[in-house]
Structure 1
Amino acid sequence: MTDSTLANSTPAEQTPPPRAVPVADWVTIDDLFRDPFPIYRRMREEAPVHWVPAVNRYMVTSYDACHTIENDQDVFSANEDGSLMKRAMGHSMLRKDDPEHMVDRQSYGTVLRPKAIKETWLRIFQQNSETYLARLKAAGPGADLVWDYAAPYAAENLRIIMGFHNASQEDMQRWSQTMINGTGNYADDPAVWAASEQSFREVDDAIDEMLPRLRANPDASLLSGLAAMPIPLEAIRANMKMTIGGGLNEPRDVLGVAVWALLDHPGQRDQVLADTSLFPRAFEEAVRWVAPIGMYPRQTTRDTVLEGVFLPKGARLGVVIGAANRDPAKFADPEAFDINREKVPHLAFGGGNHFCAGTWVARSSVADVALPQLFAQLPNLRLDPDNPAVDAGWVFRGMTALPVLWD
């Protein structure tokens, strides 16, 4: 073997060893809640993975690392030990790997698929939007677009799709928020757990009441389909709670963020109003820019190296979609809201076997119905200069206040 051959060879012993995981002991939960994006920028620049003592897990912030995790359930398991989601909602499909995950997912049938949306749910979305737009108008300029429109609209859509004919949209909002707070309760606040556990019990009671009613009088709802299948009751309960969470907060939060972003970028707002076929692009950019589900957990099944960083077996990870979707290695000028950016797949709805089953509901109810109706029926819709909009959160992120004016 010549010297030049040696120089060009890459035997195992010449491969650089995996780097140690940096410790981000400067990160606090309060800072993440207020504005996580400067934190994510700093972390990404240092390494794709950090150990974060404040949340007791490794946070993964680069696009490539998050994408790798999403597509390798053999190494990165959804079935995390000590899962906050399991405690808050039960052991749903989101905390299972295949084949158990796929059994649960297939039990949902076609209720959330595009054909069902077109044939059954789109008409209901339109009706519900008209109802809550009327309430927003009645509240008058200065009303909060999230709490006077987006939240009840998303909740009522979900209530009907799921088949909770024994509950109200207010119940759905309360159940969703308190259980979501439980899944993100990294501070282990006992008051948060108490509220989450109360909703846990109420949802079980509502399901137990509806199942026999829907077996006797089936309809197009999700619970009706599940009532006709030989599925364990605990699986139905857990998956329904999971759906109440993501199925409400995702459309609510992306709708609020999309309106906020368009109103804060008048050039892009005018572009969309001149060509309403661009509302779906505004939706996709909003969900990339501020992912409504900003982080979800995984756990390593064995020692592994992720993007050059060593992770031991049993490592509890936070897959930070809110950071991955702003990775400059993947997106040009990623901190900017830009509906005209080059189309690059974002990770806001997950990927692999856990791609969000409610994606089509969110897209249809927001991009096809809510956004066009809001801008068509509220002339000169604009932000309230005296009452600023507020966005918050990191495990889940959205608008907590969105006062608006119109003529």
Structure 2
Amino acid sequence: MTAAPGVPVVDLDLGELRDDPYPAYAKLRHTAPLAWVPSVGRHVVTRYEDIVHAEKLPEVFSSREEGSLLLRTVGPNLLREDDPGHRRLRAAAEPPTRPRQVLELWARTFERTAHELLDRIAGRGEADLIADFAEPLAAANLAAVLGLRNASADDISDWSRAMMAANGNYADDPDIWLRAEHATRTIEAAVAEMAEAVRREPDGSVISSMVHAADPVRLTEIQNNVKVIIGGGVNEPRDVFGTGAQALLRRPDVLDRVLADPGLWKRVFEETARWVSPIGMYPRQLTRNHEIAGIALPAGSRVALVIASGNRDESVFERPDEFDIDRRHRPHLAFGGGPHFCMGAWVARHEVSALAWPLVFGRLKGLRLVDDVDDRMEGWVFRGLTSLHVTWQA
């Protein structure tokens, strides 16, 4: 597939996007808000208003994209499905992730896991909060919500990392595909075992909810959708936690305000998700001819909705490159929109803003960043810190 007629062609280096995509996005918003990017193989949409426009028209901007990397990685799933099929799968999987269920079913487990992880490191006086806390917390919590009692936090993390690498494998690295294939086969076996267990004894988990759905869900559908949830369910809370924690440690005045007023943790969460979107873009394919950003695209056109760019659109957010918990509220795009609004948003909000940040900053006294350590932020399809080295008074 090539550029549609009238669409500017813009060459972007995937390595530079991985290091920091935001300068390129800013330039695109001003000079080519709809552009064909050969390295991505898609028409890239970068303005907030155009992304929102597309999200409101799922019948035009279809999730069923031909050649989707996600489909290749995990098979048919609710993220790459349109209604009514999407609605059927979501209705089966979503109940355990709703706000009330998060509080009633999972909050105590989440808090216990957070304390256990902090107990392991509290006496050390130093840690990498990504590897030692945020990732195992997100993975253990996700295993509980999914109902994967036969998988460890390390298993969930490894599987997530392998599949997310494949879902962003625009360079077509064969080793990445092999690792993803091994992960998905292992997940299928684990899900099959637990699906049989909850068929006999329901436990309120996502797998149990899908097994007992009023509209029957096949085992292969459960397996594929668990794979999808494992991807976003680890990287979103992990990366929001790390980005927000680093931002606060670099701004002691803001951190002091939040510690004095715990109600501000919710603002920190939403601003962090806007500022560095953990999921930076998702693909769509046009079902019919349609105009966007002033250019007519033909049916079949492949489109990338770059929500990370939309979340830094100057026409919507003042000083968008700054982290500011006091900015005037405008809805961000970090969890998507329309029928595909992120199913795990309430899980992530609770485990990070209600538990993880308050417990870390409350228990690790004198927490500060380690000097002269390169805690890199990387990624553009998915973006977050690779590490977060800190010290405190043990």
TM bracket (short chain): over 0.9
1:185 is matched by which residue type in structure 2?
A: N
Residues in 2 aligned to 1:384 and 1:313: alpha-carbon distance in whole angstroms: 52
Offset of 1:322 from its aligned partner? 0.7
Residues in 2 aligned to 1:109 and 1:65: alpha-carbon distance in whole angstroms: 28
Aligned to 1:264: 250
Residues in 2 aligned to 1:147 and 1:90: alpha-carbon distance in whole angstroms: 29
Q: Which of residues 239, 252, 263 in structure 2 aligns to 1:277? A: 263
Residues in 2 aligned to 1:215 and 1:380: alpha-carbon distance in whole angstroms: 48
Aligned to 1:94: 79
2:153 maps to 1:169: yes
Offset of 1:109 from its aligned partner? 4.5
Any gaps of 5 or more consecutive residues in structure 1?
Answer: 1-17
Aligned to 1:382: 368
Instruction: Check conservation: 1:76, 1:301, Cα contact below 8 A.
Output: yes
Instruction: Check conservation: 2:210, 2:222, Cα contact below 8 A.
Output: yes
Residues in 2 aligned to 1:109 and 1:87: alpha-carbon distance in whole angstroms: 23
Residues in 1 aligned to 2:388 and 2:376: alpha-carbon distance in whole angstroms: 7
2:143 maps to 1:159: yes
Instruction: Check conservation: 1:325, 1:346, Cα contact below 8 A.
Output: yes
Task: Decide which structure has the larger Cα Rg and report it.
Answer: 1
Offset of 1:19 from its aligned partner? 8.8
Instruction: Check conservation: 1:175, 1:199, Cα contact below 8 A.
Output: yes
Offset of 1:388 from its aligned partner? 3.0
2:179 maps to 1:195: yes
For these two proteins, the number of residue pairs brought into alignment is: 388
Aligned to 1:304: 290
Residues in 2 aligned to 1:109 and 1:262: alpha-carbon distance in whole angstroms: 32
- Alignment deviations for residues 105-136 of structure 1 (CA, whole Å, 9 cap, x no partner): 00125200111111111111110110111123
Residues in 1 aligned to 2:244 and 2:274: alpha-carbon distance in whole angstroms: 10
Q: TM-score, normalised by structure 2?
A: 0.96
2:43 maps to 1:62: no
Task: Report the secondary structure of 2:303's partner residue.
Answer: strand
Aligned to 2:385: 399
Aligned to 1:363: 349
Aligned to 2:275: 289
Deviates more, 1:304-313 or 1:243-252: 304-313
Offset of 1:375 from its aligned partner? 0.6
Offset of 1:49 from its aligned partner? 1.1
Aligned to 2:314: 328
2:353 is matched by which residue type in structure 1?
A: A
2:356 is matched by which residue type in structure 1?
A: A
Residues in 1 aligned to 2:297 and 2:116: alpha-carbon distance in whole angstroms: 51
Offset of 1:141 from its aligned partner? 3.3
Q: Which of residues 300, 316, 337 in structure 1 aligns to 2:302? A: 316
Residues in 2 aligned to 1:216 and 1:287: alpha-carbon distance in whole angstroms: 39
Task: Report the secondary structure of 2:316's partner residue.
Answer: coil
Residues in 1 aligned to 2:14 and 2:271: alpha-carbon distance in whole angstroms: 26
Residues in 2 aligned to 1:33 and 1:337: alpha-carbon distance in whole angstroms: 20
Kindly tell me: are residues 225 and 271 of structure 1, through their superposed partners in 2, closer, same or farther at Cα, counting changes over 3 Å? same
1:93 is matched by which residue type in structure 2?
A: L
Residues in 2 aligned to 1:206 and 1:28: alpha-carbon distance in whole angstroms: 38
1:104 is matched by which residue type in structure 2?
A: L
Task: Report the secondary structure of 2:95's partner residue.
Answer: coil
Q: Which of residues 221, 225, 245 in structure 1 aligns to 2:209? A: 225
Aligned to 1:53: 38
Q: Which aligned runs of 4 or more in structure 1 are off by greater than 6 angstroms?
A: none
Residues in 2 aligned to 1:107 and 1:216: alpha-carbon distance in whole angstroms: 18
Residues in 1 aligned to 2:201 and 2:33: alpha-carbon distance in whole angstroms: 52
Aligned to 1:12: none
2:193 maps to 1:209: yes
Offset of 1:340 from its aligned partner? 0.5
Residues in 1 aligned to 2:261 and 2:100: alpha-carbon distance in whole angstroms: 26
Residues in 2 aligned to 1:136 and 1:71: alpha-carbon distance in whole angstroms: 46
- Alignment deviations for residues 13-71 of structure 1 (CA, whole Å, 9 cap, x no partner): xxxxx99211112x111000010011111111102111101111111110011111111
1:164 is matched by which residue type in structure 2?
A: L
Aligned to 1:347: 333
Residues in 2 aligned to 1:402 and 1:141: alpha-carbon distance in whole angstroms: 14
Instruction: Check conservation: 2:74, 2:227, Cα contact below 8 A.
Output: yes
Any gaps of 5 or more consecutive residues in structure 2?
Answer: none
1:148 is matched by which residue type in structure 2?
A: D
Aligned to 1:143: 127
Offset of 1:252 from its aligned partner? 0.7
RMSD value, Cα: 1.2
Instruction: Check conservation: 1:79, 1:299, Cα contact below 8 A.
Output: yes
Residues in 2 aligned to 1:60 and 1:305: alpha-carbon distance in whole angstroms: 12
Residues in 2 aligned to 1:245 and 1:39: alpha-carbon distance in whole angstroms: 26
- Alignment deviations for residues 78-115 of structure 1 (CA, whole Å, 9 cap, x no partner): 00001100111111100011111101100125200111
Residues in 1 aligned to 2:103 and 2:13: alpha-carbon distance in whole angstroms: 44
Offset of 1:196 from its aligned partner? 0.3
- Alignment deviations for residues 346-365 of structure 1 (CA, whole Å, 9 cap, x no partner): 00000011111111000000
